């Protein structure tokens, strides 16, 4: 059985990743493609327990390197327990965040050396990488306003200062610029249906699966 494809959605707070992940998985279902929706940090029992440590508490709860280590521990559990088994059985996996978020948040945002993050990646992940990464981009003010309007309580990341979120945005754009074969930047300031249409086009063009409108 052919291996499934791994798609990741990246971007700052309030970019609409969760909404777009759900819409994309629905689009896959309509054309008969099994798609598993998941998230990081999280997506497996152990990883979800680590997520609770990462998203709650004071903004300065962890120093940046400790935070990166926690993310990679959760990521390894997510891959071993959820992502790799699903791909092996031929399912497609769509994840709300993956390693680009660690590079953006702890690297570009908090100053952890990028080479150290790459070494952690090699230990925890190896040569595995997403087949397609969709970077949902919008102005920081818009994203934070959207995040504030959500019903659930805010996470540590949403409460970080605006300068941090600006570094995050530029970090994601820098990642996409450096890896254009893997990454597609999507204008997330548009209405959700317009963003979804852009995502469908990107998936169809990059991965060769036609998705209905």
CB 202 within 8 A of CB 130: no
Query: Comparing 175 with 56, which gets the higher pLDDT?
Result: 175
* pLDDT score for 141: 83
pLDDT reading at 152 higher than 60: no
Query: Comparing 213 with 132, which gets the higher pLDDT?
Result: 132
pLDDT reading at 95 higher than 90: yes
Element of type H or E holding 184: strand 183-187
pLDDT, tens only, 51-85: 999 988 888 899 999 999 999 999 999 999 999 99
Which residues lie below 8 Å from residue 143, measured CB to CB, with a gap of 6+? 11, 12, 13, 14, 15, 165, 188
pLDDT reading at 158 higher than 80: no
Which residues lie below 8 Å from residue 89, measured CB to CB, with a gap of 6+? 1, 4
Query: Comparing 44 with 159, which gets the higher pLDDT?
Result: 44
Q: From residue 92, how far is each of 8, 55, 127, 134, 150 by CA, in Å?
A: 11, 27, 18, 15, 28
Task: Enumerate domains of the chain plus CATH numbers.
Answer: 6-205 (3.40.50.300)
């Amino acid at each position: 059985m052919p291996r499934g494809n791994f798609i990741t959605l990246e971007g700052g707070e309030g970019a609409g990743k969760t909404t777009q992940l759900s819409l994309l998985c629905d689009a896959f279902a309509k054309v008969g493609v099994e798609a598993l929706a998941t998230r990081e940090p999280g997506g497996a029992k152990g990883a979800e327990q680590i997520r609770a440590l990462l998203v709650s508490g004071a903004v300065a709860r962890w120093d940046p390197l400790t935070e990166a280590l926690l993310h990679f521990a959760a990521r390894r559990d997510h891959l071993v327990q959820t992502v790799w088994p699903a791909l092996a059985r031929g399912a497609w996996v769509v994840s709300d965040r993956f390693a680009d978020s660690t590079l953006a948040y702890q690297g570009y945002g908090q100053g952890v050396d990028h080479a150290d993050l790459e070494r952690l990646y090699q230990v925890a992940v190896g040569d595995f990488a997403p087949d397609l990464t969709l970077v949902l981009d919008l102005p920081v003010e818009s994203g934070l306003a959207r995040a504030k309007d959500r019903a659930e309580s805010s996470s540590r990341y949403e409460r970080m200062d605006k300068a941090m979120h600006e570094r995050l945005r530029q970090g994601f754009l820098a990642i996409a610029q450096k890896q254009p074969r893997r990454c597609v930047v999507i204008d997330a300031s548009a209405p959700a249906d317009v963003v979804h249409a852009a995502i469908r086009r990107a998936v169809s063009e990059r991965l060769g699966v036609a998705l209905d409108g």
